[in-house]
Structure 1
Amino acid sequence: MPSTLPDGEPVPSTGQLPESALASVPGTPLSIYLHVPFCTTRCGYCDFNTYTASELGDAPGASRVGYPDAVIAELDLARRVLGDHAPKVGTVFVGGGTPTLLQADDLGRMLAGIRDRFGLAPDAEVTTESNPESIDEDGMRRLVDHGFTRISFGMQSVRPHVLQVLDRVHTPGRPQQAVAEAKRAGFAQTSLDLIYGTPGESLDDWRASLEAAIAAEPDHVSAYSLIVEPGTRLAARIRRGELPMTDDDDLADKYELAEELLSSAGYVNYEISNWSTGRDTQCRHNLAYWHGDNWWGAGPGAHSHVGDVRWWNVKHPAAYASRIDQGVSPAHAREILTQDQQRIERVLLELRLDTGLDPAVLTDRERSRVPDLEARGLVSADHDQLILTSAGRLLADGVVRDLLD
């Protein structure tokens, strides 16, 4: 797969960060993301950095067997770069790809790599994503034994014809069964991921998916509108006229239905696309991103953020493994963010949350635009925080554009 990563500026072979970034390490929460790039098949809508066995072929370093060792070697690099003042890790998220294509013991070994190098906070949240077909109850129990506390299953839809358009290969009903198995296995939290707006999906189809997800009683539900990414198989089918393009009005109707049904079932919409049963079941790892905390992303294509520096690794597993074997940073490039860039990102991210944004982050000119947004019913100033209304969540990107200079 050709790289589409931005160029940025070069990263030292040691991975060393500037002092401005290192100064943030002692006083900022630290999270770790581990990317597992392997999938059994490629879903037609997916543009994530993932690879099937046929795509990887015999490329050196692309083996699942040797992959955990490469990730652990990058964790060694992270420990050297962040130094002795790095805090214990508060959240870990293993994403992909399909992390549970690796053996539970391999995932556990990577988690132990984090624990041994940084330590885990006593209440650390440790999540893995999973295709529900790729793991059974015994595998889940072994993950819990290794220290995983949370599992997120890709459900997407309950309707077979919708799953077919998405090229999803799991059996309808399996995600709900997997939630029950995860609870029996001892996971403290479970989550289901849904997608709405697939070509050919009716409002009743979407209602059925929501009702099935709610009936499974996960602690957390994510509902994302389908984004047709250039270069995907789905985009090609739409371009050829085989499928219709997504419709904004349809997406809005489905988002409103999600909020209606999920809130009626006791879920709280704490972020635009995420609902939880309470504050204690929110995804703390994602909150770390939205609050601008520090995180190190290990694995091919993984992104990291420490202080005022953001960087991203080379994409292909073979290129990643080659750099790790040479003892050099796998980073492709980085950018150093100005204070204003950091401020703008804070606006973009914190407005997504139900806790909102401190208006003091805005410039005087930006604050002068707030009354107009309030008059249009898009934001409210509640307890000195700027918070999107339900209408504002539907138009969040436009609200941000109208707000910022």
Structure 2
Amino acid sequence: MPGALPDGEPVPSDGSLPFEPRPSSLGVYVHVPFCASRCGYCDFNTYTATELGGGASRDAYADTVLSEIRFAGRIMAAPVETVFVGGGTPTLLSPADLGRILEGIDRTWGLAAGAEITTEANPESVTASSLRELRAVGFNRISLGMQSASPGVLAILERGHTAGRAPRAAAEAREAGFEHVNLDLIYGTPGETAEDFATSLDAVIAAGVDHVSAYSLIVEDGTRIAARMRRGELAYPSDDVAADRYLAAEQALGAAGFEWYEVSNWATSEDARCRHNRLYWTGGDWWGFGPGAHSHVGGVRWWNVKHPSAYAKRLAEGVSPGLAREILNDEDRRVEDVMLRLRLREGLPLTAADPLGAEKALANGLLEAAEFERGRAVLTLQGRLLADAVVRDLLP
């Protein structure tokens, strides 16, 4: 999970945790840090070939991850219910290498029957043939980074695929036998018109996928798009435009049979919802592999060294790649519960919220009255637009 690293205590060289964890089940995240090129808005822990430097090899990466998986297997055991391979561009690795990583997870912990096994992919990084190979090695869900159907918007975002490639890749994934297919959209890009976004929504719906994620463009310091905005070449995103785009997404996707289950995610059925991401939103247990990957088991959170070379070097020396960790106390967990569970369709118990703040949010039309009577804080449509503000209300 990319993001700023909080302060924390060092992880022991053997990777041991401060207590013996006994989760009933586990999610696994595998970070693949490679990209063919860097998109202008991206600040994830990813690297192009020219940025990698020495000591990191895409060809050797599967073996490096497998060595970390074996390392983790000495520390704890639990059946794996979900696997999510993200990045970067995971499909820059061959289907055979990705399959070997899945086999290593299965050997180490065991993949539960019916496990959800997802890979992210850029549309231009897969073909009908490679999708069939990915399905054959065990992947049953794929998330494709479409972002937009507008060539102009894709150019501003510096995406590498043509406007029609993502829907075609989604169709190829369905034909290859993937049970669930997601398309990602980004809205609020400078220069994007309402018509551009409507075209993107139409394309997603026509593609026949069963899951859609739609995110407002976040401008991160250090990215090329942020530099262009500072120079005045591009306008900064507008909150009002982002709200209009979100309402358009809700209307179009709802009319097409999608239901929101998390503020930025819609699915056509409960089965189509991403089970792995739910672990993040509900404080579940997952182990993250790869440079910069974050993990959370039993209230302990830790994260790996970020650069692929440092990551590979530690594992080659038989040392844990963990950089630091923190133990969440009850208040930490409560705050995170409010921040994350409130984003879900089922919301959170009012007992976790500040009573005065909850009453204020209800009076402002940001929480559903019927759910409030049942003892739950559930966002209205207006509340979804102002979710961060509602969180501040609910935290005393």
Listed as ranges, the gaps of 5+ residues in structure 1 are none
Partner of 2:158: 167
Pick the aligned partner of 1:370 from 350, 358, 370.
Answer: 358
Pick the aligned partner of 1:39 from 3, 18, 35.
Answer: 35
Partner of 2:109: 118
Partner of 1:67: 61
Kept after mapping to 1: 8 A contact 2:26/2:79 = yes
Residues 364-398 of structure 1 deviation map (CA, whole Å, 9 limit, x = unaligned): xx123222211100012513321011001000011
Report the 3-state secondary structure (helix = DSSP H, G, I; strand = E; otherwise coil) of the residue aligned with 1:368: helix
Residues 58-102 of structure 1 deviation map (CA, whole Å, 9 limit, x = unaligned): x11x111110011011111211111xxx32100000000000000
Within 5 A, what are the aligned runs for 1:8-47? 8-19=8-19, 22-23=20-21, 25-27=22-24, 29-47=25-43
User: Structure 1 CA distance, aligned partners of 2:150 and 2:352?
Assistant: 44
**Matched positions, count:** 391
Is residue 2:182 matched to residue 1:191?
Answer: yes
Pair 146,272 (structure 1): closer, same or farther in 2 beyond 3 Å: same
User: Structure 2 CA distance, aligned partners of 1:135 and 1:223?
Assistant: 21
Is residue 2:189 matched to residue 1:201?
Answer: no
Q: Percent of aligned pairs with the same residue?
A: 58
Pick the aligned partner of 1:256 from 225, 228, 247.
Answer: 247
Residues 348-367 of structure 1 deviation map (CA, whole Å, 9 limit, x = unaligned): 111000011012223xxx12
Larger mean CA deviation between 30-39 and 372-381 belongs to 372-381
TM-score, normalising length from structure 2?
0.97
Counterpart residue identity of residue 367, structure 1: P
Is residue 2:77 matched to residue 1:51?
Answer: no
Partner of 1:318: 309
Counterpart residue identity of residue 364, structure 2: R
Displacement of 1:4 in angstroms is: 5.8
Please, what is the CA RMSD of the aligned residues? 1.2
Is residue 2:352 matched to residue 1:355?
Answer: no
Pick the aligned partner of 1:155 from 138, 146, 149.
Answer: 146
Pick the aligned partner of 1:397 from 388, 392, 396.
Answer: 388
Report the 3-state secondary structure (helix = DSSP H, G, I; strand = E; otherwise coil) of the residue aligned with 1:142: helix
Pick the aligned partner of 2:279 from 288, 296, 300.
Answer: 288
Partner of 1:237: 228
Report the 3-state secondary structure (helix = DSSP H, G, I; strand = E; otherwise coil) of the residue aligned with 2:348: coil
Residues 237-282 of structure 1 deviation map (CA, whole Å, 9 limit, x = unaligned): 0000000000000000000000000000000010000000011100
Counterpart residue identity of residue 76, structure 1: R
Report the 3-state secondary structure (helix = DSSP H, G, I; strand = E; otherwise coil) of the residue aligned with 1:198: coil
Larger mean CA deviation between 376-385 and 273-282 belongs to 376-385
Counterpart residue identity of residue 120, structure 2: E
User: Structure 2 CA distance, aligned partners of 1:102 and 1:369?
Assistant: 48
Displacement of 1:326 in angstroms is: 0.8
Moved over 4 A (4+): none
TM-score, normalising length from structure 1?
0.95
Partner of 1:105: 96
Kept after mapping to 1: 8 A contact 2:358/2:393 = no
Displacement of 1:5 in angstroms is: 3.2
Partner of 1:380: 368
User: Structure 2 CA distance, aligned partners of 1:293 and 1:7?
Assistant: 22
Partner of 1:142: 133
Kept after mapping to 1: 8 A contact 2:188/2:241 = yes
Listed as ranges, the gaps of 5+ residues in structure 2 are none
Displacement of 1:307 in angstroms is: 1.2
User: Structure 1 CA distance, aligned partners of 2:389 and 2:221?
Assistant: 22
Pick the aligned partner of 2:205 from 180, 203, 214.
Answer: 214
Counterpart residue identity of residue 64, structure 1: R
User: Structure 2 CA distance, aligned partners of 1:107 and 1:79?
Assistant: 19
Pair 256,4 (structure 1): closer, same or farther in 2 beyond 3 Å: closer
Report the 3-state secondary structure (helix = DSSP H, G, I; strand = E; otherwise coil) of the residue aligned with 2:325: strand
User: Structure 2 CA distance, aligned partners of 1:306 and 1:146?
Assistant: 27
Larger mean CA deviation between 329-338 and 217-226 belongs to 329-338
Counterpart residue identity of residue 26, structure 1: P
Residues 309-330 of structure 1 deviation map (CA, whole Å, 9 limit, x = unaligned): 1111111000000001011110
